[in-house]
Every structure is written in C-alpha cells, then in structure tokens.
Amino acid sequence: MHSSTSSSESAAGNTRADLLRATKVLLVCVLALCVTAEFGARLFVPKMSNTLSRIRLEANAARAMAVTKHAPKEMLIVGNSLLIAGVDVAQLNGPLEPGWRGVRFGMEQTTYYDWYFGMKRLTADGSRPSAFVVCFEPRHLITSAVRTELFAYYLMRTRDTFEVARALDMTPSKTADLLVANTSALWALRKEIRKNVLGRLLPSMPDLMKLITHGLGSPTPSLDDILTIGKRRLKAMRAIADAADAKLIVVLMPPLTAEDTPALQQLGRELGVPILTPLTDQELAPDDFEPDQYHLNSNGRLRFTAALAGQLQVALQQ
C-alpha cells in the first residue's frame, strides 16, 4: 500500500511539473508572438499604406525641427485632409524663401484637440519650429473629438491620457484604448490594417464609401459658438506655442463664408493670433473642388496656396 501511494504521488507530481512546463512554454510563445506582431506593425505596416507611410515620415520630420537663428526659419503646418488637399507646401515655400520654409504634418480626420495635444507632444519630443500654422475649417476649431488610436500613437503624450479623457468625456474603456494605443503600434494601427486589407480585397470600396457619405457631415455651428468656444481654445493653443517660443497662426480653410471672416479676423487680433482667410466660398468656384465639393482639387489648391502665401508673408513679419 505504501509503495502504491508513493507511486501515485510521484505520478501526480510529474503531471503538475509537466503542466507547469507546458504553461511556461505557452506563455513564452504567446509573448514571442506579441513581440513579433508589434515589431511587424512598427516596421512593415506603414509600408503597406501610402497614408500611413506619409504620416510616419511627416511625424518624424516634425519632431526633427529645431530652432535656428539662420534663414530659413521653419514653420510647422498642421491640419487634416483639407490641408493635404488644399495647400501645396512646395508652391507655398517659393514666395516665402529664403526667410521661411514650411514643413507639413497632416493627418486625416483631425480637429482642434488632436493638434492641441499634438503640439504638446511634439514640443515635449523636442520639436522647435519658429511658427505653428494650424489649418482648419471654422467648425473644426470647436469640434470635440480626436482621431482615436492614430491620435494616441502619434500626437498624444502618455501623461496627457486622462486630460484627453476628461476633455472629451470618455468612458473608461475608451480611455484604456487610448493608453494602449499610445505605446503599441499593433493596437494603434489595427483598424488601418483591416482597412488596408479590405481595400485590397475590395478595390471599389473607397469609391462606394464616398457615394454613401456624400453630403453628410455635422451641421454648421453658429458664428457665436465659434467665437465663444474658439476664443478659449485658441488661448490654450497659443500658450503651448508661447512656451516653445513659437508664433501661432491659424489658417481657415473653406468652407468659409465671407460674412464670417471679419468677426473671425477680429478674434485673432484680440488674441494676438493671426487668423488668415485666404479664399472664402464666394471666391471659389465649383470647379475648384473635388466631386465631393468639400476638398479642393489641383486647380483650387493652386489658387488657395497662392492666396495663402501672400497672407503668410505679412503674418510672419508681424
């Protein structure tokens, strides 16, 4: 009996040891898979997408900007798809050189909070442009949203996670999502990976989505709302620029009505923040726009950039 009991205990001990070893091997394999996936996301995913590749290159160029006492001084031009479609930076730099040179950092679907916190992140990372040029349409100045995971990965400091959550009244799960995306490329880019795969499997999907969403969008806010909320927000954004010893300039992209421009420009004068309005809706024609009648096409971009260059020359000398 004693021998039988000892054998049973020995067998049970061996089973527990085998289970423990198997568990350790499994955990190591899972960890190795996660590390490999994270490394692959950082290294290879941006190469799968022209948009992600551009964002990464522009983010790196923005972080590398340094203060210089020699010409040309550098200005960081930030914004969303309206900037990407509507401003030709190479054309813009022509009239501004040799005194100034613009560097673009554009990310689609971004608005005020993306770049408010983005300016914090960039300056914390050592970026020191001589001027920040922020390009929005008026309603984007008072929009309360961020580009979720991509924002967290490229534009948010880890320490600002809970400030972002408070500003946008986020749930705990959404806050946790931002925190993970801030440090993990795999988590931050997972939606872009899925979108890229679907785009390859269904090449006509982007055109279909444009048809579905044509004409949709949030309603135009009142001018009073823009002036009231915008005043507070521009003060906060200017404080970041001032701390980095940089000038803040706001460029209002179309859609923009001529009736609203005097009040918006006056707001800029009160705050000491030049608010530029290169071309309004009345100064643009339907054939200056893409078929969505929202983003400028090559002709509209040419006209808008030329008008912006003239106003920037004045604003940068003030």
pLDDT in tens, 32-67: 666 666 666 666 666 677 889 999 999 999 999 987
Total length of the chain? 318
Which residues have C-beta within 8 Å of that of residue 193, sequence separation ≥ 6? 41, 45, 48
Please work out, in degrees rounded to the nearest 5, the angle formed at the alpha carbon of residue 269 by the alpha carbons of 268 and 275.
35
Q: pLDDT tens digits for 90-130?
A: 999 999 999 999 999 999 999 999 999 999 999 999 999 99
Residue of 144, 141, 143 whose CA lies nearest to 227: 141
User: What is the DSSP code (8-state) at residue 80?
Assistant: S
The pTM of this model reads 0.84
Residue found by looking up tokens 């190795």 in the block: 32
Closest CA relative to residue 157, chosen from 185, 116, 191:
116
Stretch (H or E) spanning 112 = helix 112-124
Domain at 50-317, CATH from 3.50.50.60, 1.10.3470.10, 3.40.50.1110, 3.30.230.10 = 3.40.50.1110
CA–CA gap between residue 166 and residue 175 (Å, rounded): 9
Q: What is the domain partition of the chain in residue ranges?
A: 2-43, 50-317
User: What is the model's pLDDT at position 213?
Assistant: 46
The four Cα atoms 194, 199, 202, 203 give a dihedral, to 10 degrees, of 180
Contacts of 229 (CB under 8 A, 6+ apart): 141, 142
**Which of 20-34, 71-85, 228-242 has the weakest average pLDDT?**
20-34
Question: Which pLDDT belongs to residue 216?
Answer: 44
**CA distances for 98 relative to 70, 72, 73, 313, angstroms:** 10, 5, 9, 12
Task: Please give the order of strands across the beta sheet that includes 131-136.
Answer: 100-106, 73-79, 131-136, 247-252, 275-276
- 237-296 pLDDT, tens per residue? 999 999 999 999 999 999 999 999 999 999 999 999 999 999 999 999 999 999 999 999
Question: End-to-end CA distance of the chain, in Å?
Answer: 98
